[in-house]
Structure 1
Amino acid sequence: MILERTIAPVFAANCYVLAPAPAGPALVVDPGAGSVRGAMALLRSNRLALGAILLTHGHADHVWDTAALIEAARAEDMLAIADPLAPEASVPVYVPQPDLHRLDDPDASTAISANGMGFADMAGTAWRRPADVRAFPAEGFGAAFEILPGLGLQAIPAPGHTEGSTLFFFNSRLADNYLLTEVIDDDPGHADEEHDYLMALAGDVIFKGSVGRTDLPGGDQVQMWATLRLLASAVSPETILLPGHGAVTTMEHEHHGNPYLAEAKIRGGDRNA
C-alpha cells in the first residue's frame, strides 16, 4: 500500500495520499489550501491517478483546494476515470452527511479569521464547490466501503469538532514508511519487511497530545467528551492515528499522553459534569 502526506501551507493541515498499489487510482484526503502542488507531486512520483477525494469534515482548512486538485489532475491527464460528457464530475468527493452543508460556503460555515482576514483571504483564492460531492455512504458506517478498488474504509461518527466529524478506519500492509517512523521504532534490519496495521484517518477529532477545538460553528464540547470516551474504550491501542494536523500518533500513546482524552474518560458526555 502507498501512504504519503503533504502539508497545506494554510493552517498546516495534513493532506494524505492513499493507494492500494503504484500506477493505479489514489484517494486524496483533505486537500487544504495550498496542498495541490504537494499532492500532485506525490501522485506523479507513484504514477498514480486521482480516483476519489475524502473530506474528514467540512471545515475550510481541510476542503479548500478540492476543486483545484481535480482541475490540476485533469490538466495532466491524471484522472482515474474521465467522463468525456461531464469531465468536471469524474472525481467523487465524499464528506460525512452532517457536514455536507459546509461545502456551500466553508469560509462562512467555519468562521476562521486571523488579523482581520477570512479564510479566502488567507488562502488567496475563492471557494469553488466541487461538482460531484457525495455523502459518505451509510453502509460505510457498518462495514467497510470500498472507496477505491482494493481500499475499504469503515467510518465511525465522532461529533464534537463538527457535527459530521468522522474517523475512517482501514487496514494497510506497509514496509518502511517515513510516516510510521513518527510512532514506530523498527529494527533497522527488518525495515524492508511488510507489516499489517490498523489505521484511522482522524481529521480534527484527536491529535498527538491534543484534540480538535469545539468553539467553532458545529462544535460541541460535551459531544467531544462523549466521542473521546467512546474512542478510548472501543479503539484498539495499536491503531495508528493519521490526524488532520501535526504528527502521526497511536491510540496507545494518547491513552498515556493526552490530557483531553483523560478528562473525557471521566466526564464522558455528561452535560452536568
Structure 2
Amino acid sequence: MPDKLPNVLIASFPAGPWQTNCYLMARAEGGPCVVVDPGVGATEGVRRGIEQYGLTLDAVLLTHGHVDHVASAAQIADEAEVPVWIHEADADLLSEPLLALSEDSRPILESLYGSTTFTPPRDVRNYDGDVVTAGIRFATRHAPGHTPGCTLLLPETDDALLVLAGDVVFAGSIGRTDMPRGSAFEMASSLATQVLPLPDEAHLLPGHGPATTVGHERINNPWLQPHALMALQNPIDDGK
C-alpha cells in the first residue's frame, strides 16, 4: 500500500503467516527511510520497496517484540549496518521470542527457523524519548498491555497526525492480552491514557489489518467503550 501524506511517503505490505503490516517511511522518494516492524518473511518485501522508491535505510523501528513483528529485523538492519530501536522491556524478545508466546508457538518457530532462539541485531537501541532518523522525528508513547514494551510511534508530519499503533489497537479490536507478559489491566490503562486522548483525525496504522482513525475507533471499536475498559481493568482472570 503506497500512500503520500503531507511531507511523508509510506509504503506497506502484510508479511508472513500472521500477515503483519510492515511499513517503510521516508520524507520522499530517493531519500533515507525507516522500516517499521519487519516480521516473518518481510526481508524481500523491504528490499523491493527500497529499490522501487530509490530509498536508503537509516533504521529499523519496532512497536514491540513479538516475533511476527521482529523476525526479519536483524537480517535487514545488519545488512544495512543500521540500528534497531525497541523499548527496553521487550529487548530480550529479539533473542528469546518464546518468553512472550504460548508454548504452542514452539513448533511453529522450529518449523520456520529450525530454532526457538534468534541472534539479535548487532546494534540494538532502546527508546528514550523521541527518535530522529531518516529526517523524521518519531515521538514515542509507551503503551504496555499486549507486551510490556509496546510503543506507539508518532512520526512528525506537516499536517496529518500518524500513529504507528503496532498491536495496541486495530480497526474494530485491540491486541490480545492473554499471552505471557500480557496484561489486561495495563492494556486498559494504555488505551485510556495513550490512545483515546489522541484527536479524532489521527490516522492509526496498525500492526494487522486496515488503517483507521481514532475518531472512527472511538465510536465503533467495542473495546474502547467505557464498560469494556472497566472490564479490562477488573478481569476475572488475567491469564496469570
> Normalization by structure 2: what TM-score?
0.86
Which of 35, 60, 71 is equivalent to 2:67? Answer: 60
Q: Map 1:1-273 onto structure 2 (within 5 A).
A: 1-70=8-77, 74=79, 79=80, 90-111=81-102, 113=104, 117-121=107-111, 123-124=112-113, 126=115, 127-136=118-127, 138-140=128-130, 145-148=131-134, 150-172=135-157, 196-263=159-226, 266-267=229-230, 270-271=233-234
Paired residues of 1:172 and 1:198 also in contact (CA < 8 A): yes
CA deviations over 1:25-74 (Å, ceiling 9, x no partner): 11000000011111111100110111100010011110001122235xx4
Structure 1 residues 112, 234: closer, same or farther in 2, change over 3 A?
A: farther
> Normalization by structure 1: what TM-score?
0.77
Please, which runs of 5 or more residues in structure 2 have no aligned partner? 1-7
Paired residues of 1:112 and 1:119 also in contact (CA < 8 A): no
Is the radius of gyration larger for structure 1 or structure 2? 1
Paired residues of 2:64 and 2:90 also in contact (CA < 8 A): yes
RMSD: 2.2
Structure 1 residues 112, 198: closer, same or farther in 2, change over 3 A?
A: farther
Aligned residues: 227
Please, which runs of 5 or more residues in structure 1 have no aligned partner? 80-89, 174-195
Q: Secondary structure at the match of 2:181?
A: coil
Cα distance between partner residues in 1 of 2:50 and 2:227: 39
Give the letter aligned to residue 178 of structure 2: D
Query: What is the aligned-residue identity percentage?
Result: 35
